[in-house]
Amino acid sequence: MEAVRFPRLTTPRLVLRAPSERDIPAWFARTTDVESASLAGDPVPDDISAGERWIARSRQRFADGKAIKWSIDQAGVADAIGTVTLSFDATDAKAAALGFVLARALWGNGLGSEAAREVVRYAFETLALEQVTAEAVARNFASLRILAKLGFKHIESFIDESDGEHCERFALDGGIESPSVVEQSGARLPS
Ligand SMILES: CC(C)(COP(=O)(O)OP(=O)(O)OC[C@H]1O[C@@H](n2cnc3c(N)ncnc32)[C@H](O)[C@@H]1OP(=O)(O)O)[C@@H](O)C(=O)NCCC(=O)NCCS
């Protein structure tokens, strides 16, 4: 059987592509930024050798149809500046969860919004998903703002039992119910 081709996406400033071994140093720098990891709810790796496992897991989850993780390249920047991930729901083939992390030096330039918007567009237009969900810790104002700009609706508040964090859960439905994505990307969603 032919392997599924990785979906390369582009935006005015960014290229979203498959992660590779050359991303490991930048990945290690991002994931060992303790404040960023805490905001994202991600574990901090002990050692850069964990990067090989990160790449292997990303590839395996893509091959198994469980998730797509994109490395984000910005024109003129040598290293990948972050990742965006769509993790598919094990019980609902038409739903996926969105996650994103950017290197701290690039925060505040609209790049997180740009990458997230393109992946949401891809999820609805190309994958024909019906819902994209997202979670954020309640103190993650940048993430909450990005989700609001993309039209995500608040579903519920909850406590993450692993660390006691107050978190918020959001969902964005596809089709004609998603005017913000249409307005902000200029894209047409399938009717
Ligand atoms: C979340 C993250 C990807 C945002 O990336 P970014 O490129 O800085 O985001 P953008 O510049 O596109 O947008 C951030 C928005 O939040 C707003 N914002 C940022 N900090 C804020 C704060 N403390 N209070 C209120 N709004 C804030 C910005 O003004 C901007 O809104 P605007 O477009 O209306 O001006 C980045 O901060 C990051 O990687 N954080 C650590 C990991 C993480 O939290 N991931 C998300 C897990 S759910």
Instruction: Please report, for the domain that includes residue 55, its CATH number.
Output: 3.40.630.30
Asked, for residue 177, whether it belongs to a domain, the answer is: yes
Instruction: Report the alpha-carbon distance of residue 158 to residue 135 in Å, rounded.
Output: 10
- Atom 5 (ligand 1) nearest CA: 112
* pLDDT for res 3: 76
Query: Where are the alpha helices (H) located in 2-69, listed in sequence order?
Result: 24-31, 34-40, 50-63
Does residue 113 carry a pLDDT above 90?
yes
Residue keyed to tokens 């993450």: 160
Task: Look at 162 and 24; give whichever has higher pLDDT.
Answer: 24
Asked, for residue 3, whether it belongs to a domain, the answer is: no
Asked, for residue 154, whether it belongs to a domain, the answer is: yes
Asked, for residue 166, whether it belongs to a domain, the answer is: yes
134: pLDDT confidence band, cut at 50, 70 and 90?
very high
Question: Is 138 near ligand 1, meaning CB less than 6 Å away?
Answer: no
Full residue range of the structural domain in which residue 125 is found: 9-185
Q: Which two tokens stand for residue 162?
A: 């692993």
Asked, for residue 136, whether it belongs to a domain, the answer is: yes
Asked, for residue 160, whether it belongs to a domain, the answer is: yes
Q: Quick one: which of 176, 164, 157, 43 has its CA closest to 101?
A: 43
Q: How many CB atoms lie within 10 A of CB 103?
A: 20
What Rg, from alpha-carbon coordinates, does the chain have?
Answer: 16
Cα(111) to ligand 1 centroid in Å equals 9
What lies within 8 Å, CB to CB, of 186 at 6+ separation is none
As a whole number, mean pLDDT of residues 7-11 equals 98
Q: Which two tokens stand for residue 66?
A: 């469980």
Pick the atom of ligand 1 nearest to 145's CA.
16
Tell me how many domains the chain contains.
Answer: 1
* pLDDT for res 46: 94
As a whole number, mean pLDDT of residues 42-70 equals 97
Asked, for residue 2, whether it belongs to a domain, the answer is: no
Q: How many CB atoms lie within 10 A of CB 71?
A: 22
- Atom 10 (ligand 1) nearest CA: 110
